[in-house]
Amino acid sequence: MITNQFFEWLGGLIDADGGFYISKKGYGCIEITMHIKEIQTLYFIKKKCHGSVSLRAGAQAARWRLHRKQHLLYICSGLSGHIRTLNRQSQFIKICKTYNLHYKVPETLRYENAWFSGFFSGEGCLYINKNTFQCTISVSQKEKNILYNIQRIYKGNIFFDISWQGWVWQLSNKHHCNQVLDYFSKYSTQNPYKQAKIKSFKRFLIYKEKGYHLDPLKKEKLVHFIKVFEIKD
């Protein structure tokens, strides 16, 4: 039996890195594509939902795909009410019409919901500036409205990034960052790669609070963390 919390999380990840598709013959499927270093997350989904995981030719990516009707109907029924981006909602509504499934409009996003952990698993980034030691949590997305929902709960700022013509929600305030990290303690991203970075990010914040970045000797302890985080996901 799959819990509602799992479907909240899965809906978030599909909003970030997945999609609902219908073939020319009228058969539906769900797909999620992630970087190869995050393949464990796809195997976690396969264990819960069935389907298959395969490597993508010519790319450092892997894909989970579900198309068997019995499992597809069960998963889509559970996902109803948990798909929040406009693009994915449009795809999901077509799936629901194809298989005569009830489509639920999502309720207002709340803190007590695993959707953001799934969305962050796909679109989230943890970053530490090597010069200023500023710690940043961010999410990038083409749709601005979904970032407003995140901002309403977790605060932060939203700005337009002209380099890729998309929107970014960003958080640097220590208190607000800790609130997000506390959230991830309650609602796991189910992404070992991201979880390892979250753990290191928490440790860096502790070191920074102790003033290690101001002490020439203790600053060396921060070198490992800076190397891990100076390259954005």
CB-CB contact of 79 with 8 (8 Å): no
| Residue 39, pLDDT score | 98
Question: What's the N-to-C CA distance of the chain in angstroms?
Answer: 33
Is pLDDT larger for residue 210 or for residue 157? 157
Please state, in angstroms and rounded to a whole number, the distance separating the CA atoms of residues 180 and 88: 25
Cα separations in angstroms, 15 against 12, 70, 72, 223: 5, 22, 17, 35
Please state, in angstroms and rounded to a whole number, the distance separating the CA atoms of residues 233 and 218: 27
Domain with CATH 3.10.28.10 in the chain: 4-98, 116-229
For the domain 4-98, what is the CATH superfamily, name and number? Homing endonucleases (3.10.28.10)
Q: What is the mean pLDDT of residues 23-41?
A: 97
| Residue 137, pLDDT score | 97
Strand-pairing partners, residue 125, are 138
For residue 5, what are its two tokens?
């919390």
CB-CB contact of 95 with 22 (8 Å): yes
Class of domain 116-229: alpha beta
Count helices and strands in the chain by DSSP H and E runs: 9, 8
Burial of residue 135 (CB within 10 Å: 0-12, 13-18, 19+) is buried
| Residue 202, pLDDT score | 94
**Closest to 18 in 3D by CA, of 36, 32, 28, 34:** 32
pLDDT digits (tens, 9 = 90+) for 80-97: 999 999 999 999 999 999
Indicate the pLDDT class of residue 178, thresholds 50, 70 and 90.
Answer: very high
Phi then psi for residue 2, to 5 deg, are -90, 135
| Residue 146, pLDDT score | 97
| Residue 233, pLDDT score | 60
Cα separations in angstroms, 5 against 55, 73, 79, 114: 28, 18, 10, 6
Please state, in angstroms and rounded to a whole number, the distance separating the CA atoms of residues 153 and 155: 6
Q: What is the mean pLDDT of residues 187-208?
A: 94
Please state, in angstroms and rounded to a whole number, the distance separating the CA atoms of residues 5 and 74: 15
pLDDT digits (tens, 9 = 90+) for 109-141: 999 999 999 999 999 999 998 888 899 999 999
pLDDT digits (tens, 9 = 90+) for 35-82: 999 999 999 999 999 999 999 988 899 999 999 999 999 999 999 999
pLDDT digits (tens, 9 = 90+) for 136-148: 999 999 999 999 9
